[in-house]
Structure 1
């Protein structure tokens, strides 16, 4: 599994600031609707429902919200770089500025977990995160995320 198969260039955006986690999920829903032709409300509701189980802020300014949706046939991703970090309730209580949302088919098991592991490994790389934080061009951000060497999923 490669990030280039999960994340379309059009699904990478830079946003100036967001006022809340709810607004973040709306932005993710709008992007998923525009790029992957998914119902925006379903994306927002699914991400919100998953987040109610526990925060997906993994620390060091990174959040990995994820949800399962009916109507999807493969895992899809949306990446946002937030210029003004957002209080997300992350495990280390640090605000979030890098958000990689994964949307998986409702019946997916292993593929969803592999995609989550791949994204997690990619964003644990401090070099990658440094490049993401140093750039504001969506095409550059997409290239940084997808040009990483493919590694075996967990």
Structure 2
């Protein structure tokens, strides 16, 4: 699995700031709706529902919100870089500025976990993270995220 199979250029954005996690989820839903034709309201609801199980802020300014949705045919991704970090209730209590949202079909099973692991590995790569934080052009951000990497064991 490769990030270029999960993420399209139109699903990468740079935004100024948000005042709440809820507003960030609304943005992720809107981007998913515009880029993939996804039901934005269902996407937002799915993200909020998953977040009640525990925060998806994984530390170091990174959040990986995700949801399983009805009527979705394949796993898709949305990436948002925040110019002003948002308090996200992350595990390390640090504000978040890099957000990779993942949406999967309800019955995706292990594929959803594989996609989440791929995104997590990518976002733990300090070289990738540094480049993402140094760029504000969505096309460059997409290129950084989807650069070919050597396959790694999960």
Instruction: Compute the RMSD of aligned alpha carbons.
Output: 0.8
Helix, strand or coil at the partner of 1:91: coil
Instruction: Give per-residue Cα distances to partners, 1:29-62, cap 9 Å, x unaligned.
Output: 0000001101111000000000010000000000
- CA positional deviation for 1:117: 0.3
Q: Does 1:103 align with 2:108?
A: no
Q: How does 1:122-133 map to 2 (within 5 A)?
A: 122-133=122-133
- TM-score calculated relative to the size of structure 1: 0.98
Runs of 4+ more than 6 Å apart: none
- Aligned residue for 1:24? 24
Helix, strand or coil at the partner of 1:10: helix
- Aligned residue for 1:7? 7
Q: How does 1:21-100 map to 2 (within 5 A)?
A: 21-100=21-100
Helix, strand or coil at the partner of 2:4: helix
- CA positional deviation for 1:148: 3.7
- Aligned residue for 1:143? 143
Helix, strand or coil at the partner of 1:68: strand
Instruction: Give per-residue Cα distances to partners, 1:83-105, cap 9 Å, x unaligned.
Output: 00000000000000000000000
* Number of positions where the alignment pairs a residue of Structure 1 with one of Structure 2: 154
- CA positional deviation for 1:82: 0.2
Q: What is the rounded CA distance, in whole Å, between the counterparts of 1:55 and 1:143 in structure 2?
A: 28
Tell me, which stretches of 5 or more residues in structure 1 are unaligned?
none
Q: What is the rounded CA distance, in whole Å, between the counterparts of 1:8 and 1:38 in structure 2?
A: 14
- CA positional deviation for 1:153: 5.4
Helix, strand or coil at the partner of 2:11: strand
Q: What is the rounded CA distance, in whole Å, between the counterparts of 2:62 and 2:39 in structure 1?
A: 25
Tell me, which stretches of 5 or more residues in structure 2 are unaligned?
none
Higher fraction of strand:
1
